[in-house]
Structure 1
Amino acid sequence: MSPDLLLGRTVRLVPLSTEHAEALFPSASDPEVWRWIPRPRPESVAQTRALLSRLIADPARRSFAVLRLSDDTVIGTTSLYDLDLDEGRTEAGTTWFDRSCWGGPYNTESKLLLFGHAFEELGLVRLALRTDHLNVRSQHALSALGLVREGTLRSHMRRGDGTRRDSVYYSVLAEEWPALRERLRARVEAKAGSPEVN
């Protein structure tokens, strides 16, 4: 995989490496960033490195570090996981960004690049995302993009604090991707024009 395979206007996605641990630790250790991630929050660079190592070792996962093009800083990470090429499906997630990047074009463009990789390069027919039923902001964002809310898996998984969460599932199919791609492009264009990116 070429390091610049997933190249956008404001970010590029490169294969995740344990070498990204130090850059990702500040955001991974931020309780607000980690709030909805159902994994124990790393408390050191070593724990972050161990987490990245587990992600990278999963054969059904493709994980990426997100680098901001303006300064080549690692600002986050995102993945395709439960990847089944035979069935043509995957889920997108294990995504987090440094809080200073929230509200900018970076997460939106990362989704544009990741989804494009799934549908246009891997030839998948279905991509799903799931979120905690308490994460209303994420649910509104996914619905606003036009993803289809499929339903809720009750008591689906354990949160980092040990409580149980319901998972709300959304999906997009290959035939729906062109319309979603245009919505994502429009959002990136609108956000990339903001002063924080220039």
Structure 2
Amino acid sequence: MPWITPVTLQGKHVRLEPLSEAHIKGLAEIGVGQDFWDYMLYGRMETEEDMRNWVLDIMGRGEKGTDLPFTVIHLGSGRVAGATRYLNIMPKDRGLEVGGTWYGLDFQRTPVNTECKYLLLTHAFETLKCIRVQIKTDSRNVRSQKAIERIGAVKEGVLRNHMILPSGHYRHSVFYSIIDSEWEQVKKNLEAMLGG
């Protein structure tokens, strides 16, 4: 049996459900044409067909066991809010990465991202018994770095010329981690940010 299996995680603001083709239209409505794709590895999403291809690619990674992708559903509106996933899953080393995260503009700077991180990290540390969770971001994405640091993740360093993006840009990636001994404090930080 795989170490990580598809699961639905629910909080007060969001539900994380396994990514499926049924989510393509909702993801396209909030994701097509957005600038945040410039920081990501997939290229720009300009059409619903681009989004379909992205969803199928990410679902394919899930089938290989390297990723576990989720669609984020905003409970208050019932709308698709974005996507996130576990990736770089390493069962032997009890580690994984939280990433591939993006949200529609209506859901940025709301409790959505904080609660998504809370649900994903709680599941990783308390159910899967991870000893390390990493998060990485483009060095140009200062807003993302501040958000990661705010929850208490530790900056480990920068991998220079880490990836070549579809635009041809050489991406430097800033790596962060949370280890099992730090989880209790990070959990308190997230709960405080969520208001209890």
Matched, 1:6 2:12: no
Which residue does the alignment assign to 2:52?
49
| CA RMSD of superposed structures (Å) | 1.6
Which residue does the alignment assign to 1:195?
none
Which residue does the alignment assign to 2:23?
20
Q: 1:77-156 residue pairs with structure 2 within 5 A?
A: 77-156=83-162
**How many residues in Structure 1 have an aligned counterpart in Structure 2?**
189
Matched, 1:31 2:34: yes
In structure 2, relative to structure 1, the CA distance for the partners of 1:68 and 1:153 (3 Å cut) is same
Shift of 1:57: 1.5
Which residue does the alignment assign to 2:72?
66
Q: Is the 8 A contact 1:23 1:74 kept in 2?
A: yes
The 1-side partners of 2:29 and 2:80 are apart by 11
Shift of 1:25: 0.9
Q: Secondary structure at the match of 2:143?
A: helix
TM-score by length of 1: 0.90
The 1-side partners of 2:162 and 2:147 are apart by 21
Q: Is the 8 A contact 2:21 2:55 kept in 1?
A: yes
The 1-side partners of 2:34 and 2:131 are apart by 35
The 1-side partners of 2:80 and 2:185 are apart by 29
The 2-side partners of 1:158 and 1:26 are apart by 27
Q: Which amino acid aligns with 1:99?
A: L
Q: Which amino acid aligns with 1:173?
A: I
Q: Secondary structure at the match of 1:35?
A: helix
Which residue does the alignment assign to 2:194?
188
Which residue does the alignment assign to 1:161?
167
